[in-house]
Amino acid sequence: MAAQGPGNRFPQALLLLSLAVLARPPLPAVAASEPPPAALRAGHAASSLPAAAAAPRTRYLLYDVNPPEGFNLRRDVYIRVASLLKTLRKSENWVLVLPPWGHLYHWQSPDILQVRIPWSEFFDIPSLNRNIPVIEYEQFLAESGGPFIEQIYVLQGYAEGWKEGTWEEKIDERPCIDQLMYSKDKHGYYRGWFWGYEETRGLNASCLSVQGSASIVAPILLKNTSAQSVMLDRAENLLHDHYGGKDYWNTRRSMVFAKHLRVVGDEFRKKYLQSTDEADRTQYKEDWTQMKVKMATALGGPYLGVHLRRRDFIWGHREDVPSLQGAVKKIHSLLEMLKLEKVFVATDAVEEEIELLKKLLPEMVRFEPSLEELELYKDGGLAVIDQWICAHARYFIGTSVSTFSFRILEEREILGFDPKTTYNRFCGETEKNCEQPTHWKIVY
Which residues are designated catalytic? 69
Based on the number of CB atoms within 10 Å of its own CB, is 417 exposed (0-12), middle (13-18) or buried (19 or more)? Answer: buried
Angle at 117 between CA 115 and CA 118, to 5 degrees: 155
Determine how many CB atoms are found less than 10 A away from the CB of residue 215: 19
CA distance 6 to 14: 9
Among the listed residues 94, 188, 103, 193, the one whose alpha carbon sits nearest the alpha carbon of residue 134: 94
In three-state secondary structure terms, 137 is helix
CA distance 331 to 348: 17
| Helices 403-415 + 71-89 axis angle, to 10 | 60
Quick one: which H or E segment has residue 233?
strand 229-233
CA distance 194 to 239: 23
CA distance 112 to 346: 21
Among the listed residues 32, 29, 28, the one whose alpha carbon sits nearest the alpha carbon of residue 201: 32
| SS (HEC) of 148-172 | EEEEEEEEECCCCCCCCCCCCCEEE
Contacts of 34 (CB under 8 A, 6+ apart): 187
Alpha-carbon separation of residue 152 from 67, 203, 230 (angstroms): 16, 8, 6
| SS (HEC) of 77-115 | HHHHHHHHHHHHHCCCCEEEEECCECCCCCCCCCCCCCC
